[in-house]
Amino acid sequence: MRLSEQQLQESTAYLKEKGFDTPEIGIVLGTGLGQLVNAIENPITAHYNHIPFFPLATVEFHPGKLIYGTIEGKKAVVMEGRFHLYEGYDFIDVTYPIRIMHQLGIHKLFVSNAAGAINRTYKKGDIMLIEDHLNLQGGSPLAFGNVSEFGDRFVDMSEPYDLDMRLKLIAIAKREKINLQKGVYAAVIGPQLETKAEYRMLKIIGADAVGMSTVPEVIIANHLRLPIVAVSVLTDECDPDNLEPVDIQEIIRIANEAEPKMIKLFTELIKEL
């Protein structure tokens, strides 16, 4: 794996020519979480297949668009559809859009995902603020030869999720009467769902939720010294003693129903930044 400055410059130049002008905030929307784009004023859209060196979204419920516009008076760029290791991409591909958003000028990053609830007290439809994570994906987006050309090789991860934005979200949730859980997100490769034994293992090692994304993006955000906040929409309950086959369409439905709470949290936080 290698990354070149020329690739980053060509991707960024294309978007600037389309009108992506110095966004302040970057947002990554997870599975089933696309309604936030309706809050974007004066949107400009760039499809991934038109952006030089961008990967293509191959998952049917990930549209594959980068959208620029205004949210609550602030310029933002939104990823509608992200990339995953389970699609066959490597860590550089998965995190490439974060580097491009940083090149465009964002100085805050919001990330969302759909995840399964490992913590038995959390229920489907809950929102969980990610406070820490477990990287179980078997690699790192910083593990390539010329990484030091783009930032520090050895990145501190003692507080990977920005504390100030987390505290703001907690206060917003309380004010808006949104039940905001807090916990540890475990990232696995997928795309298969977990076995009963794997769910038991995840609980033992300290996970409150499990998913197949987010952690590479968080690592790169810290590499770029880009403050990040992340939330999981909990779409299923991973109880190994009462485990039922997973229905992906049901997961999408739960994500859609819970999404207005996530949108409220994000838009209110944007107002306060």
Domain ranges of the chain: 5-272
Helix then strand then coil, in percent of the chain rounded to 5, is: 35, 25, 40
pLDDT reported for residue 60: 56
> CATH classification of 5-272, choosing from 3.40.50.920, 3.40.50.1580, 3.60.21.10, 3.30.70.2740?
3.40.50.1580
Q: What is the pLDDT of residue 51?
A: 95
- Cβ–Cβ under 8 Å, residues 114 and 209: no
Structure tokens at 186: 């475990």
Query: Which stretches within the chain are classed as H helix?
Result: 5-18, 91-104, 163-175, 196-204, 215-223, 248-272
pLDDT of residue 57: 66
Q: In the numeric block, which tokens belong to residue 167?
A: 């505290």
- Complete DSSP assignment for 116-172: EE-STT--TT-EEEEEEEEE-SS--TT-STTGGGTS-SS---SS-S-HHHHHHHHHH
Structure tokens at 33: 């979480």
In whole angstroms, give the CA distance from residue 191 to residue 39.
Answer: 30
d(C-alpha 159, C-alpha 218), whole Å? 11
Model pLDDT, residue 215? 98
Q: Which burial class, exposed, middle or buried, applies to 144 when counting CB atoms under 10 A from its CB (0-12, 13-18, 19+)?
A: middle
The whole-angstrom separation of Cα 141 and Cα 61 is: 24
Give the C-alpha separation, 2 to 93, whole Å: 10
Q: What is the pLDDT of residue 197?
A: 97
- Local confidence pLDDT in tens for the 273 residues of the chain: 578 899 999 999 999 999 999 999 999 998 767 788 889 999 999 999 999 999 876 665 556 899 999 999 999 999 998 999 999 999 999 999 999 999 999 999 999 999 999 999 999 999 999 999 999 999 999 999 999 999 899 999 999 999 999 999 999 999 999 999 999 999 999 999 999 999 999 999 999 999 999 999 999 999 999 999 999 999 999 999 998 888 888 888 888 889 899 999 999 999 999
The CA distance from 120 to 183, in Å, is 12
In angstroms, the CA 102 to CA 107 distance is 7
Among 194, 220, 222, CA closest to 209: 194
